[in-house]
Amino acid sequence: MTWRTAELIREGLGNLGSNGFRSLALAAIAAAALGGLAFMELRQAGELTQFARDYQAGGAYVAIASVPGGGLSGARCQSLNGVPGVHAAGAMRGTGTVTFPSAPGVLFQSADVTPGLLGVWAPGMPGPSGAGILAGSALAAELGIRAGLVARVEAAGPTYFSAVYDFSRRNPQAARWALSPVPAAGGFDECWVEFSPGAYQGGREMLAARFAEGSADPVVRPYRRSDEFTRDPAAEWANRPQRRGWLAVPVVLLALGLVSAWFRRSESALYLAMGTGRIQLAVMATAEQWPVVGVGWVLGFGAAVASQTFITRQPASDAVQAALATSGSAALLALVLLPWASAFVARGSIATLLKDR
């Protein structure tokens, strides 16, 4: 018997609609498998993205330069703010301790800072408005002050507090400091620089060379040291367990397709007995199974994105693209393999099938 392609497609669609429960069950299985793969990708990508953000927010790409005996050039440090790859840079020098009558006997550290240092210690916070002392959050809480208040400093008279900063993520010890913004002229103790991730390693070398021009043997150290306990998001992503899922999921779906074809082998045998070739059986199965896999992938991927959105509010676009590539590849491979299940299982002798029964 000779079939036209259009007739094979109509026959396959007819088989699809003749048993709605079977079709819905296969679509649900495809949705669970492909959606689960997409959700695993989204979940791990979201976790690693959040870790990378927290790691960077905690000062992962901050370097500190100093010179023996102090005297580091504040002007050179402040000028780094215009260098490509530098997010913020500023210098500081300690000026001893201060105390306030509202907390008698309690000493607080004081320091002079250039304006760029606040961008390193408290990124995202607005700069100070007007002249006055900048208070760390712990100092402000102990003294009961806020921005805009005037407090008395022993041996210095009334002092205006222009802002209160939260330094807990980048420099927790500065939370009890009283900071005085000063011009970058003169010598300072340290220069803090935050680089972009790609410029960090080269930036540390550049930092050492920059201050070596004016003094011997500058010391450049990372704010957060890397050791064997530090996570490597790139390595974790490259070695994720579901990276081969685009191969494993289609194999599982093919196994289910073979089981389904086995229970329908008498139907396939009837087609073969009528002269239908195995390639024509595969074309017919394509029309029957492609809608099932397509609907399953759309529902599964949509459910995975919706679930991750509910958990993390907004999945990153890179994570969605990675999940789309992995689950989409699995769906495409399943579309290629599944139609051949019926052609592989089919037997040509109806008599043999009746004897088996």
CA R_g for the chain? 34
Determine the 3-state secondary structure of 204 from DSSP: helix
Burial code of 238-275, b = ≥16 C-beta within 10 A, e = fewer? eebebeebbeebbeebbebbbebbeebeeebbebbeee
pLDDT at 279: 79
Provide block-wise average pLDDT over 10 residues at a time, the chain (357 residues). 69 74 87 93 88 84 88 90 91 87 81 90 77 84 76 65 85 89 90 91 87 74 72 82 89 88 76 74 81 92 90 81 91 89 71 54
Which run of H or E residues covers position 178?
Answer: strand 177-181
Q: Whole-angstrom Cα distance, residue 255 to residue 251?
A: 6
Adjacency order of strands within the sheet including 219-222: 150-153, 157-165, 133-136, 177-181, 103-113, 86-100, 190-195, 62-66, 219-222
pLDDT at 215: 54
pLDDT at 154: 60
- List the structure tokens of 208: 């050492």
H helix and E strand count, the chain: 13, 11
Residue 85 to residues 55, 197, 203, 284, Cα–Cα distance (Å): 18, 8, 8, 58
Residue identified by tokens 């050179």 is 76
Residue identified by tokens 């023996």 is 68
- List the structure tokens of 307: 């679930």
Q: What is the pTM of this model?
A: 0.69
Residue 217 near residue 211, CB atoms below 8 Å: no
Residue 134 near residue 178, CB atoms below 8 Å: yes
Give φ, ψ of 264 to 5 degrees.
Answer: -110, 20
pLDDT at 34: 93
